[in-house]
Copies of this chain bind each other. A is one copy, B any other.
Amino acid sequence: MADTDTLTGTLTGTLTAAATGAPDFSGWSCPMPLRDYPRVVMGHGGGGAMSAELVANVFGPAFASATQAALADSAALTLGGARLAFSTDSFVVRPLFFPGGCIGDLAVNGTVNDLAMSGARAAYLSCAAILEEGVEMSVVGRVAQAMGAAARAAGVEVVTGDTKVVESGHGDGLYLNTAGIGLIPAGVDLRPQRARPGDVVIVSGEIGLHGVAIMSVREGLEFGVEISSDCAALGGLVEAMLAVTPDLHVLRDPTRGGLAAALNEIAAAAQVGVTIVERSVPVPPQVANACAILGLDPMYVANEGKLVAFVPREHAEAVLAAMRAHPLGAQAAVIGECVAEHPGMVVARTALGGTRVVDLPLGEQLPRIC
Contacts and interface: CB of A to CB of B under 8 A. Distances in A.
Contacts of A179: 86, 88, 126, 128, 177, 179
A165 B47 CA distance: 10
A169 to B, nearest CB: 7
Nearest to A104: B62
Contact of A40 (B75, B124, B128, B135): B135
Given A144-B63, A152-B64, A167-B367, A160 B38 contact: no
A88 B165 contact: no
A44 B81 contact: no
A368 to B, nearest CB: 6
Interface string A39-76: 11111111000010011001101111110011111110
Q: Which of A40, A59, A145 has the largest number of chain B CB atoms within 10 A?
A: A40
Contacts of A182: 79
Interface in A76-96: 77, 79-84, 86-92
A86 B159 CA distance: 8
B72 A159 contact: yes
B86 A160 contact: yes
Given A38-B137, A128-B177, A135-B39, A172 B166 contact: yes
A45 B140 CA distance: 13
A242 interface: no
A339 interface: no
A130 interface: yes
A175 B90 CA distance: 10
A164 interface: yes
Contacts of A181: 79, 84, 86, 181
Contact of A144 (B37, B59, B127, B152): B59
Interface string A170-203: 1110010101011100000000000000000000
A148 interface: yes
Contact of A134 (B39, B58, B75): B39
B177 A58 contact: no
A59 B157 contact: no
Question: Which residue, of A36, A59, A74, A148, has the highest number of chain B Cβ atoms within 10 A?
Answer: A59
A126 B86 contact: yes
A70, A74, A177: most-surrounded residue (chain B CB, <10 A):
A177
A110 to B, nearest CB: 9
A330 to B, nearest CB: 30
A44 B42 CA distance: 30
Given A62-B144, A80-B84, A131-B45, A38 B72 contact: no
A19 interface: no
Interface of A: 36-46, 51, 54-55, 58-59, 61-66, 69-75, 77, 79-84, 86-92, 123-124, 126-138, 140-141, 144-145, 147-148, 151-152, 157-167, 169-172, 175, 177, 179, 181-183, 367-368
18 contacts: A37-B137, A38-B136, A39-B135, A40-B132, A40-B137, A40-B140, A45-B166, A59-B129, A62-B141, A63-B157, A66-B157, A70-B160, A72-B160, A80-B84, A82-B84, A86-B126, A175-B175, A177-B177
